[in-house]
Structure 1
Amino acid sequence: MEFAKQFAPHLPLLRRYARALTGSQQSGDAYIRASLEALVADPSQVTMDLGARVALYKFFHTIWNSTGATIIDMSADLSDSATARLQSLAPLQRQAFLLTSLEGFKRSEAATILGQTEKELDKLIDLAQREIEDELRTKVLIIEDEAIIAADLEHIVKEMGHDVTGNAVTRDEAVKMAHANPPGLVLCDIQLADDSSGIDAAHEILSAFDVPIIFITAFPERLLTGERPEPTFLISKPFQDNTVKAAIAQALFFHPSKESVAA
């Protein structure tokens, strides 16, 4: 079937989304099966002019809403704190947060999927991020040699409720600060004041601490070569405040250690 060819590339990502949404592989996969069975039974239910991926996710939510989100595995292991945090969010907030942060949909696309206006979606995302920020307050080390940019980052970090442990302008200073006051998050430029490398500083910090690092740089091509493991979180200069805030929330939420350093 033609629709099967169009949807097939997006099914692995939808499966990831369903598992994150429900809190377990078993219940997420149950929703995928239910959605695919309904789709095969009546392909006309899908609005293909939305584009294959948006149409697929929107149809998935039709099934989700029609069941009242009842296919939930109550034995799901919520010891993973990111999973537990997701499940603590109200359902619509959780969906809006995951669609934009995990799945990378534009807000207009996420609004279409959820049947919300963009204004309503923005409120849902803001509520989700506020709850996450309240729970994940931490200490932040800034590694940035441009004073104005460092000041902007410090303002953003403090506005989110986090503490700034310091602003390092060289690799050695960054490593020293990290050991003196271990951070829960690092914001890192890659080209520093004495021509030392923020990448080297990050690697040395990571050798001692399990901490998420967000690279903020005017030279993203230096990190996106495909020749080595690349950063999960990368922001290009010049940046928007909201971009930095979203990256911080996502980095703290999804970091594998699932732990933040108390502020």
Structure 2
Amino acid sequence: MSVSVGRSLACSCSSSSFVNYNSTNKRAFGTSGRCYRSSRFLKTAIKAQQRPTWLPGLDPPPYLDGTLVGDFGFDPLGLGEDPKSLKWYVQAELVHSRFAMAGVAGILFTDLLRVTGISDLPVWYEAGATKFSFASTRTLFIVQLLLMGFAETKRYMDFTNPGSQAKEGSFFGLEAALEGLEPGYPGGPLLNPLGLAKDIKNAHEWKLKEIKNGRLAMVAMLGIIVQANVTHVGPIDNLVKHLSNPWHQTIIQTLSGSGS
């Protein structure tokens, strides 16, 4: 980058003018001010290059200025141009990331128990049709609907009015146990038992790790769904099959139909 910078400056001004710019005589550049503009452009270019983006050399959109956690300038559809929509999308991505991380962990763990014979569990995409003896499907659905609806309503209310759900009497007297830190980041001994990132406003590293792992989990969840649709087995079954013959049991053979 230094070489290209030197060439761009040399095209618009002489070396002596470049030296004089660092002194008090700024008129040495001439009346056109080309070197001054080049210097400002250079500072902007260096600042842009120092910020990592999802595609090297990409010029991020102006509304993604790097202040958001995990902002790498990725918005090809321009969904975040509206500030209100961007704020909502940030929270939506965070929630989907957490669901994806929990889902991937649950699928892999239960699939491992099933494949090893430790527990007689259904494959993950058939778990929803399983009949349980302790409650009917309708009862489980209603209970889940009420619990999830309550939690999501509280989350939305805290999003629209930050801090409102931490007020005394807003959660049956359990506000202190939850200790909402900021929208999207509840805490307290119930939701943050390890006491991580207590200073949530300065916990940029923890937030970045979470969103990165969450995005990876969403991609992994998409992969698990696709492989289940193609192979009709769980992810651990696919892994065992691949390890049994790594050179011939691959995604290429599977998609082409020669690996079956």
TM-score range, shorter chain: under 0.3
Higher radius of gyration, 1 or 2:
2
Structure with bigger strand share is 1
- TM-score of the superposition, structure 2-length normalised? 0.23
Structure 1 length-normalised TM: 0.23
